[in-house]
A and B are shown apart, each in its own frame.
Chain A
Amino acid sequence: MDDKANGYWSATLGLLAKILVVWFLVSFGAGILFADALNGIMLGGYPLGFWFAHQGSIYIFIALIFFYAKKMGDIDRQFDVHEE
């Protein structure tokens, strides 16, 4: 039982870490730290860094949450801890 619980928890933490990296890169990375550099690239009429700060990161956040919810569901079943 303890092994199973530990396996489940480390699978969960692994997923969280992956998602948090993307979360950080699109907002703090592309939207703030590298915004100036990215502004040299245009996305339609948007400078890219500006786009990430004002639009892009929000779309990616939504995708991240649904990805997380789906993957967690898989992990729950894999370790047989899902709700009946």
Chain B
Amino acid sequence: MDLQTMTYLVVGASFALYIGIAIWARAGSTSEFYAAGGSVHPVLNGMATGADWMSAASFISMAGLISNMGYGGGLFLMGWTGGYVLLAMLLAPYLRKFGKFTVPQFIGDRFYSKTASTIAVICLLTASITYIIGQMTGVGVAFSRFLGVSNETGIYVGMGIVFAYAVFGGMKGITYTQVAQYVVLILAYTVPAVFISLQLTGNPLPQLGLGGNMVGTDVSLLSKLDQVVTDLGFGKYTTSTAGSTLNMFVYTMSLMIGTAGLPHVIMRFFTVPTVKDARSSAGWALVFIAILYTTAPAVAAMAKMNLIRTVTPGVVMQNTDPYTADAQIKYDERPEWMKRWEKTGLLKFEDKNGDGRIQYYNDKTKSDAVKAKAEAAGWKGNELTVNADIIVLANPEIALLPDWVIALVAAGGLAAALSTAAGLLMAISAAVSHDLVKGVFAPDISEKNELLAGKISMAVAIVIAGYLGLNPPGFAAGTVALAFGIAASSLFPAIMMGIFSKKMNKEGAMAGMLAGLFITLFYVFAHKGIFFIKGTDFVDMIGGPNSFFGITPEAFGAIGALVNFGVAFVVDKMTKEPPEHIQHMVEAVRIPRGSKMVDGAH
């Protein structure tokens, strides 16, 4: 059986499984549609949260970015896991006790204001749609490789499937389907990593292999990698930081508090039976997430090693000098996987010096030694461009693993992208239909029309995200990081103050949310274009790229959150205290006793 047939077969089987489960657990009433009736076990909920959480950004994009960034890529690893500590301790148990469906509902009730709830909806929509743009970028990569078509066509196909998928079942369908998706995606991620770790280090556990020695030598994998990449002019793998230490610090902080402020993750904790379960659920979620997140750095380092080994075969195992004349492979003799990825347009070769061989190195290096060697060897610039988002999907192909492993990874990538996109669409649909239409504009709306409004908003969100996904503001993980920054700067501070400060009033919370959202979007749009539309950026107006202490737009959310807290504090001091009954409500939310089932009515 050839690879393409095998891929269709494995992907088809995984889809049949998800659809089967969705039909079996088809959603009925609105309550079930959004929150699965509050009856999901913490371990299962943890697994589903894991699938929901680990999106195209985690699965497809992250290891590729770490592969290029080296040590600095650790900001994704720490940022996207450390937020669970905050979520478990600062938000989840209290929001569960509060006992409503959605984040805007909490904001609206706690800050006794429909306007506050509407502002929360706006923040939620901005963050979620940005997040989906990142997902669509990943979906495009996965589908283009899967179907052997261009990246654009991949995105169009993906849009259709994500929509059908999200509309079909509600959260209940999604909760159980996501358990299945978790199993598929975690196998797809770890199986090739185990193979590759065995090949390179002889250790089956990638987490240990990354700290082990190259097979048959007493040189550690990481020191070998450091040497190989610096020879080619790249930064040293184990120490290259992300921009600056300050940038890495605020970037990590942004991702952490963004995790705790993202509505589709928070919604998960409304679906556990008790406050006690809400606490441990976050722990279980993190266990399941950590299996992927501790494997990812091994995948990243080993993929870099294998890529260099493909292009210059003797370099890794025999210490060949990459600059000797016949050390690089001939383009005509390139492996099959390169040809497959060339079709998607995400891997490109350009023979700049006309020697028919592939030269892969950092031609913008600051090292004079590397420049001199490249010039002496007659190299005229880097000839191989590999999109960071393809590294994970191409990884088993690069390592020449069996076809079934490659097919499994394709199924995993699709599962990751679909499950998160679906979870986000649920959050968007709940915010628009429940919080905006029913909560503000048409309180008398029938349950049927409420569901319809939800579905229409999903369709609109997906079209916008797909359109912007064609010209994405960055790699999947980078775009998703922007979404985290938006959530971090707008929603997280408001929810936290709602629980931890009895005296925070509606004026403070609303001013804080608006200020945090505005300043973050301003900085992001300055770099990436207004509403991410290409050509509308105004980065020169703010004094050039990263002009705020060298902080990148992806990292700016933490600054936005500080502004949010600051503005809220000042406005709160200047306006009158919240009413007595709200202060009592906050006291009640802090105590687990008396928690009841989630209740959707106001």
Contacts and interface: CB of A to CB of B under 8 A. Distances in A.
B207 interface: yes
Contacts of B88: 65, 68-69
Interface in B476-500: none
B327 interface: no
* Chief secondary structure at chain A's binding surface: helix
Given A45-B220, A81-B591, A55 B207 contact: yes
Given A43-B211, A55-B207, A83-B593, A65 B282 contact: yes
A72 B286 contact: no
Interface in A36-84: 36, 39, 43-47, 50-51, 53-55, 57-59, 61-62, 64-66, 68-69, 72-73, 76, 81-84
B597 to A, nearest CB: 12
Nearest to B221: A45
B249 A28 contact: yes
Interface centre among A28, A43, A50, A64 (most CB of B within 10 A): A50
A45 B45 CA distance: 36
Contact of A51 (B211, B274, B595): B211
B571 interface: no
B4 interface: no
Interface string B276-307: 10011011001100100110010000000000
B85 interface: yes
A55 B291 CA distance: 11
B81 A58 contact: yes
A82 B245 contact: no
Nearest to A4: B591
A8 B591 contact: yes
Contacts of A81: 591-593
Contacts of B74: 31, 50, 53-54
Interface centre among A23, A28, A32, A81 (most CB of B within 10 A): A32
A58 B85 contact: no
* Chief secondary structure at chain B's binding surface: helix
Interface string B193-219: 000000000000001101111000000
B222 interface: yes
Interface centre among A5, A54, A61 (most CB of B within 10 A): A54
A46 B85 contact: no
B283 A65 contact: yes
A47 B280 contact: no
A36 B207 CA distance: 21
Interface residues of B, number: 53
Contacts of B294: 55, 58-59
A22 B63 CA distance: 27
Contacts of B221: 45
A12 to B, nearest CB: 7
Nearest to B274: A83
Contact of A58 (B86, B252, B282, B290): B290
Nearest to B80: A58
A84 B297 contact: no
B287 A62 contact: yes
Nearest to B289: A58
Contacts of A50: 71, 74, 222, 238-239
A33 B249 contact: yes
Contacts of B211: 43-46, 51
Contacts of A19: 85, 89
Interface string A1-35: 00001001100100010011001000110011101
A58 B293 contact: yes
Contacts of B249: 28, 32-33
Contact of B252 (A27, A46, A51, A82): A27
Contacts of A58: 77-78, 81, 290, 293-294
Contacts of A27: 78, 82, 252, 256
A51 B238 CA distance: 9
Contact of B279 (A44, A57, A69): A69
Contacts of B595: 83
A15 to B, nearest CB: 8
Contact of B590 (A12, A35, A36, A39): A12
Contact of B222 (A20, A45, A53, A83): A45
A47 B222 CA distance: 9
B90 A84 contact: no
B279 A62 contact: no
Contact of A55 (B89, B274, B279, B297): B297
Nearest to A31: B78
Contacts of B290: 58-59, 61-62
Interface in B74-102: 74-75, 77-78, 81-82, 84-86, 88-90, 93
B592 A82 contact: yes
Given A20-B85, A50-B239, A62-B287, 19 more contacts: A16-B90, A23-B85, A28-B253, A36-B239, A45-B213, A54-B73, A54-B77, A57-B78, A57-B81, A58-B81, A59-B290, A59-B294, A64-B85, A65-B283, A68-B89, A73-B276, A73-B279, A76-B592, A83-B275
18 contacts: A23-B82, A27-B82, A32-B248, A44-B208, A45-B213, A46-B211, A50-B74, A53-B74, A53-B75, A55-B294, A62-B283, A62-B286, A65-B286, A68-B279, A69-B280, A72-B93, A82-B593, A83-B594
* A-B pairs with lowest CB-CB distance, top 7: A45-B220, A53-B74, A65-B283, A54-B297, A44-B211, A69-B279, A46-B211
